[in-house]
Structure 1
Amino acid sequence: MSITKTFRFAAALTLVFFAASAPASLALERVEQPSSIPGAGPWDGKAWNEFYNTSQGSRLVPWDWIRALKQADGQLFLADGLARYGYLANPASTTPGLPVGFVVADGVLGPSCAACHTRQIEVEGKAYRIDGGPALADMGALWADLDTVVGKVLADTASFSEFAKAVLGSGYDPQKETKLRGEVDLWYARHHAITEAGLPKDKPWGTGRIDAVGMILNRVAGLDIGPGPTHIILGNMRKADAPVRPPFLWNAPRQDHTQWPGFADNGDRILAMARNVGQVYGVFGEFFPEKDATHLLGFNYVKANSVDFKGLIEMERLVERIGPPKWPWPVDTMLAAQGKLIYERPYVEGGCADCHGIDRGQPRLLNPDTWCTPVQDVGTDAREYQYFAPDWKVDTGALTGAFIPFVSEPLGRTDAPVSVLATAARGAILQHFIPVTVNSVERQRADVALSLLRPLVEELKGVYKIPGTPGAGRWACRRAPETPGKLKFEARVLEGIWAAAPYLHNASVPSLAELLKPPQDRAADFKVGPAYDISAVGLAAEQPKSTFLMKTDCNRGSGVSHCGHDFGTALSETDKRALLEYLKTL
């Protein structure tokens, strides 16, 4: 097949692939779980089983290794199914004993998006499962503990021999133990490097928060593009000390921008793939690019890339089906009707719809009907903006000179880490779906043929850009007010907001009732756990199953500021009660 015909075929196949809507079946049967709160979408037992069990290509640790590892008290590391970190039981797991969102693929354990986006709350002793809700889990503690236990095994010869015998079983011999030692040393060198350089020790992320952006940048720039065998560039990593609450997933495919600072275009499946590829890179995906003139883009982005593209497509199809959860308790309909009128007031009168209502967003190539996601400065915590500081440059290593035609300039020897991430995500997507190779004679024809795919390629232009630059978040919707500041964060449609506590992007306010208080009156400290308060619409004050105390302040650069977003705080107590009642119904 000629290059031109190959491109036309690949383009047509890609568009059909992304536009298809019927998810494939994994043929898993529904099993009993805590009471699932139904959403508005076509979500059923088969869908949630697939959501919990589909691999995305994350590679945390080989399965045989973690089964043999032990906690400090001698119990197996997996003894409680990771429940001590807040992960939820999955009785339908394809690997018995693993929690929701943890999958074994190709002999390696890794999390999927369900691990961070499945919520469980408790009211009067009854548990309710909310698929797509922000998890109340502590990935930072899991990350650090795994580093500790592997380090202890490697530090003691007898401990490693015991570990090797457990891993190798009946096939054990000293030579295999030596080989295993080399493999564990390499794994630990990488995991320990990012643990030491990236995880904050003095102020750990804690329950319900994760610095996904910080760790995505650390992994791509610090673990993926250096020289082998470790691929580490230690100087490219920095403390990931701007943890935020994982966003809820319902309606996520429809919003026209995503990431809390709104720095990633969104709204169709091409852009969703970029969003999800970046997410996999951040949670233990492996990606080792190299220069290769035989590939269309001049680099090989997929030869050593663990991203499971098929799994990501299946997961996105499932996410499109997750509807906002419906409040399962009684609602005072008359009071809610009064609250609806308050909600629809202009924002200057304490209303919400100007910023959080449904409004038409920026059309995308494969979806003209997006929802607008205003990105505005409302005085909330701004620590996440450290990752876009103009003076933070990284060694681009194996990606020096890489660029995407029609979209970006070649990466310099040093460049912004966000630009490295954008190139890594775009290049992998284009090479995976357009697997064309060329020789020197064909290069000119290949460049001409590439122009046939220009609209498809240009759709990726707004993927992971510095906030405020062309192609990044549009700052206001038709109805949303303009704000003068530059530290802007997205305001999402509030469907299902009752199920997403704690609030603000950095999880610094425990309930909607607390958010309606003037900032100086909001709780400075609160426990984070599953106990839910249906009156306050958020976390209950008493959390008997939690030991994590969220400590907040009013310092905008601290990462834990509970100040800002003071809309509605001047309403009367009667109006606040009515507004809260209405927010339950969304």
Structure 2
Amino acid sequence: MHRRIVLALPVAMIIAACSNLPPSEPVDKVVWLEQGEDWEGEARNWFHHVSQGTATLPIPFEWFMALEQPGVNLFGAGELVSSPDYLARLGFIPGKINRFNQSGLPVGFAVDYNVTSPVDGRQYNAIGFTCAACHTGQMTYQGTSIRYDGGPAVTDITEFTIVLFLAMFETRYSDVRFNRFAARVLGEQNTKANRKALKKAFSTNLMELIDLQLSSIEAEEQREIVAELDRSGESRTLKDIAKGLKASLKNIEGFARLDALNRIGNQVFALDANRPSNFVTPDAPVNYPHIWSSSWFEWVQYDGSIMQPMVRNAGEALGVAALVNLEPGERHFDSTVRVDALYRIEQMLAGSVPPFQARAFTGLQAPKWPEQILGAIDREQAAKGQALYGELCQGCHLPATSDPAFWSEKYWSVENDAGERLLRLKIIPADDIGTDPAQSRVLADRKVDTRGLGIDTEVYAGRDCEPLRVTEAEDASFAFSLGAVVQETTAYWYRQHGIGEAEQRRMNGERPNCLQAPGGYKARPLNGIWATAPFLHNGSVPDLYALLSPADERPDSFYLGNREFDPVRVGYRSGKGTGLTRIDTSLPGNHNSGHEFDDDEGPGVIGPALSEANRMALIEYLKTL
């Protein structure tokens, strides 16, 4: 089968290679916004590069550092994939060399040296994403790059995957390129025997990746591909699949968006469990959520589905390819997840003093509008906008965090097991808010085959946290099965490291593993909302001005990936450009309806149409939050 796949692969690769990356965006000055005294210097550097135990890049660290960029180079050796300028074109923020980042990798990249796989026992140096890869924001304005922690990333993970795959393929099937690669990897050990061994290992790794790419194809289609290859050496079916998949992914994800929940499900229940039938095509993208303040929400996951911070964070780590052993036995649920690092990250985000006690969020704080860069806020207009906010927005999004009314016990009405108050937010049904329902259905509707995975776990379900026994089944609930696997994974780590029950509760945020599939969207406070474009949960609206407009006045299509900021409309410039992601809002998962201000009543209309003056006044006030 491997031989036949290799024959077909160039067709898919040629198709994948047809896109271009955006050009480099030169900047004259870099500014990191202030977000609290605990988020500066060494602490920020640690957050940017601390490992969660992930192996997101499916190759050893030293291989990644040695790969050349894909494409023909007529003048000898090409530039490296790991070049900061090249990765910046994919949206990754360049990082500086320091004791936490010895190789100068971008923000959000972490290296784990001498990792032992809990699955097959092999040892290697892993490279993967930490949470900063998806939750560090950036924008440019007139030559200044503005950066801030906890904001939505503007990366294109889909294109990065294609780049990495192409670079590996071209390295394997070009002797000249492979020899250069081997020289970088082997250094003084670059002998003929070692090159041969490296090529064998590299080929095995590449074939595993190819198999993973094909694992989601139905068996009947695989047989048809093989038959066509036997007849002609080229598969029309594979070509069609590759075309369709590339078109689908380009429209569904791309810059600034990812179908995170379905990807986590694919990683855990299709790849980790070696169960291809559990694979689904990503079709429910979300704009990377901003994470400031969220440690103190009653339901910490952005969609209101997870109560416990550790389960949310460890689940995210598994989703970006921390290794886990799902084979029942002595090492069942052993993993590379760094539970201790996840706890420390959460402590940094949460702050040392509970916010209800301090009457302020003391951890990672929302970034303030930088008037010295983006222009002064019109305070007279903002005052008019504040009145509109109280009338139209406050009922769902609560008073501004600077308003004493925000700290009322009626909003902070629940307590964790340590007696610390948590913020209860509204979860609005998808039908009521009228926005695209795709993401709200993932946890409610998706089923996974968990037979043979040894799941028999008590979790808690629903708003009242009733006990629920999760067991393996052919059509098990994705939501509760994922929660059970993550709970068992963290429990294994606690046992392995001798962590007592009281310390476990503290590391878990003093909350049970309570889960729900609410079928709606959480209305969170709007502090820092100006820095979180694109808008709506799926990033289907480019700026605040469009968000405050009726749906029929919002753009039917626009482009993501340009980081130049528009301080008037408050969002990224969204015109057409090379290598950018086109968002077609007519596609399922991309709909831009709902959360509308319109005089025509209907699903998703939350208030009357706003005049031009009122839209601008409300935008001016939102800049102050």
**Aligned twin of 1:383:** 438
| Structure with the higher fraction of residues in strand conformation | 2
For 1:354, the aligned partner's letter is: C
CA drift of 1:368 comes to: 3.0
Change (3 A) 1:502 1:169: same
- Counterpart Cα distance in 2 of 1:135 and 1:352: 27
- SS in structure 1 at match of 2:159: helix
CA contact (8 A) 1:121 1:530 kept: yes
CA contact (8 A) 1:274 1:426 kept: yes
- SS in structure 1 at match of 2:377: coil
- SS in structure 2 at match of 1:291: coil
CA drift of 1:155 comes to: 4.5
Listed as ranges, the matches of 1:192-207 within 5 Å are 192-195=210-213, 200-203=245-248, 204=250, 205-207=253-255
Matched, 1:261 2:303: yes
**Aligned twin of 1:217:** 265
For residues 413-470 of structure 1, what are the alpha-carbon distances to aligned partners after superposition, in whole Å with 9 as ceiling and x for unaligned? Answer: 5523333321221011122123499xxxxxxxxxxx999999989944324x4x14xx
Matched, 1:150 2:168: yes
CA drift of 1:171 comes to: 2.0
Listed as ranges, the matches of 1:404-419 within 5 Å are 404=458, 407-419=468-480
CA contact (8 A) 1:510 1:538 kept: yes
Change (3 A) 1:549 1:409: closer
CA contact (8 A) 2:452 2:472 kept: no
Change (3 A) 1:186 1:396: farther
- SS in structure 1 at match of 2:246: coil
CA contact (8 A) 1:278 1:425 kept: yes
Change (3 A) 1:161 1:105: same
For residues 565-584 of structure 1, what are the alpha-carbon distances to aligned partners after superposition, in whole Å with 9 as ceiling and x for unaligned? Answer: 11355123222222111100
CA contact (8 A) 1:41 1:324 kept: no
- Counterpart Cα distance in 2 of 1:128 and 1:452: 39
For residues 472-530 of structure 1, what are the alpha-carbon distances to aligned partners after superposition, in whole Å with 9 as ceiling and x for unaligned? Answer: xxxxxxxxxxxxxxx41111111000000110011011111110110011012222221
Change (3 A) 1:186 1:274: farther
Matched, 1:76 2:83: no
Matched, 1:433 2:485: no
Change (3 A) 1:34 1:353: farther
- Counterpart Cα distance in 1 of 2:170 and 2:481: 34
- SS in structure 2 at match of 1:430: helix
CA drift of 1:251 comes to: 0.7
TM-score (norm 2): 0.73
Which deviates more, 163-172 or 66-75?
A: 163-172
For residues 132-159 of structure 1, what are the alpha-carbon distances to aligned partners after superposition, in whole Å with 9 as ceiling and x for unaligned? Answer: 1101111111122212222333456665
CA contact (8 A) 2:535 2:541 kept: yes
Matched, 1:167 2:146: no
Match of 2:595 among 560, 565, 572: 565
- SS in structure 1 at match of 2:103: coil
- Counterpart Cα distance in 1 of 2:29 and 2:413: 37
Change (3 A) 1:191 1:276: farther
CA drift of 1:224 comes to: 1.1
Structure 1 runs not aligned, ≥5 long: 1-31, 226-231, 266-270, 438-448, 469-486
**Aligned twin of 2:397:** 355
**Aligned twin of 1:54:** 50
For 1:111, the aligned partner's letter is: F
CA contact (8 A) 2:396 2:523 kept: no
- Counterpart Cα distance in 2 of 1:532 and 1:333: 21
Change (3 A) 1:161 1:257: same
CA drift of 1:257 comes to: 1.7
CA drift of 1:412 comes to: 2.4
CA drift of 1:407 comes to: 4.8
Matched, 1:105 2:97: no
- Counterpart Cα distance in 1 of 2:112 and 2:502: 37
The runs of at least 4 aligned residues of structure 1 exceeding 6 Å deviation read: 449-458
- Counterpart Cα distance in 1 of 2:452 and 2:173: 32
Change (3 A) 1:408 1:361: farther
**Aligned twin of 1:43:** 39
Change (3 A) 1:92 1:159: closer
For 2:104, the aligned partner's letter is: G
CA contact (8 A) 2:141 2:565 kept: yes
CA drift of 1:540 comes to: 2.7
Which deviates more, 525-534 or 566-575?
A: 566-575
- SS in structure 2 at match of 1:78: coil
- SS in structure 1 at match of 2:257: coil
**Aligned twin of 2:333:** 301
For 2:427, the aligned partner's letter is: V
Match of 1:290 among 324, 327, 331: 327
Matched, 1:585 2:624: yes
**Aligned twin of 1:339:** 385
CA drift of 1:241 comes to: 2.4
- Counterpart Cα distance in 2 of 1:371 and 1:195: 42
| Percentage identity across paired residues of the two chains | 29
- Counterpart Cα distance in 1 of 2:207 and 2:511: 37
- Counterpart Cα distance in 2 of 1:193 and 1:582: 52
- SS in structure 2 at match of 1:399: coil
- Counterpart Cα distance in 1 of 2:450 and 2:509: 22
TM-score (norm 1): 0.77
CA drift of 1:311 comes to: 1.9
- Counterpart Cα distance in 2 of 1:41 and 1:452: 27
- SS in structure 2 at match of 1:300: coil
Matched, 1:273 2:322: no
Number of aligned residue pairs? 498
**Aligned twin of 1:365:** 417
